[in-house]
Amino acid sequence: MRLDTILTPERCFSKLPGVSKKRFLTTVSELIADETCSLSADHIYSALLAREQLGSTGIGNGIAIPHCRVTDCDHITGALVTLQEGIDFDAIDSRSVDLLFVLIVPAQETDEHLKVLGALATLFHQDSFCQELREAQSPQQLFEIATRL
């Protein structure tokens, strides 16, 4: 899977302040809604929060892949975020999270949702890839690193 099919430079966010999981979900929902015409921040936030209540999307090693399916979404949408400081995301290894890929998927795209999640998990288990993302100093650098594969 090529990330440039679901990610844009405008949905890459470098060194955002990290306060808490809920505050992050609120902020990223607003940022994604600002870049998409069909999704509201409230709808995104509610869907992400509902998914997190089922179990944390923190996959370990400081990484989380918050994701949800949204009825008003017409195409798979991703956002890549690094945080200034790690936040508690109830990750499986209890480590603070500072690298996140947020995934919003159309409600009817169940199979594609699982395929993209699997590809993201594989990608974010590559230590060198994650280190480069953490060292990126701008949204453009994040996008370039994420999409060069």
Helix (H) or strand (E) holding 121: helix 110-124
Instruction: Give catalytic status of residue 67 as yes or no.
Output: yes
Identify the DSSP state of 65.
-
pTM: 0.94
Over the stretch 8-60, which tens digit does the pLDDT of each residue have? 999 999 999 988 999 999 999 999 999 886 789 999 999 999 999 999 999 99
Over the stretch 48-100, which tens digit does the pLDDT of each residue have? 999 999 999 999 999 999 999 998 888 899 999 999 999 999 999 999 999 99
DSSP string, 26-52: HHHHHHHHHH-SS--HHHHHHHHHHHH
Based on the number of CB atoms within 10 Å of its own CB, is 104 exposed (0-12), middle (13-18) or buried (19 or more)? buried
Catalytic entry in 67, 75, 113, 125: 67
What the chain holds in terms of domains, given with CATH numbers, is: 3-147 (3.40.930.10)
